[in-house]
Amino acid sequence: MKVLCVGDSDMIGAWVLHRFQIILTGIDLAVAVVEHDQIIGVCIFQAHNGPDVELSYYGPKTLTLDIVKGLAKIAVDHLGVSRITARTAKSNKMMTRGIKKIGFEYEGIRHHAYGDKDAVMYGLYGKKLARLAGKVMQ
């Protein structure tokens, strides 16, 4: 069973550095996805400005709908957001197809966001975010 653990940003950042050679900065909230006492994925919430937060996920082929629902709930309950912004490499076809299926809306291209590679930007907000987070909208 996969469990979401809000955790120590330094420890989670060290896992990302070790696995992906990426140095994380400006972490507002770090969440580890743990299975059988091992970290298999990490979500980083960054650039929190009140109503919006950017989400980054590290852990190829570990993201499930239940994890996304849990992350949405954490974003709403712990950070108080009404919007989540996500981006992924334009070449990541699995993510660019899957992210729309769970309610994120395409918002544009961020050229050279990953060095010489472009990123695709998505947003999730309003009733779609509330529904994914398990909240009832009045």
State the pLDDT confidence band at 136, using cuts at 50, 70 and 90: confident
Structural domains in the chain (count) = 1
State the pLDDT confidence band at 137, using cuts at 50, 70 and 90: low
Give me the domain span that covers residue 95: 2-132
pTM, entire model: 0.90
Is residue 40 within 8 Å of residue 33, measured between CB atoms? yes
Asked whether residue 44 is domain-assigned, the answer is yes
pLDDT (tens digit per residue) in 91-117 = 988 888 889 999 999 999 999 988 899
Asked whether residue 119 is domain-assigned, the answer is yes
The per-residue pLDDT for 1 is 81
Asked whether residue 52 is domain-assigned, the answer is yes
Task: Name the token pair of 66.
Answer: 């239940």
Asked whether residue 51 is domain-assigned, the answer is yes
Asked whether residue 20 is domain-assigned, the answer is yes
The per-residue pLDDT for 58 is 93
Asked whether residue 137 is domain-assigned, the answer is no
Asked whether residue 13 is domain-assigned, the answer is yes
Asked whether residue 62 is domain-assigned, the answer is yes
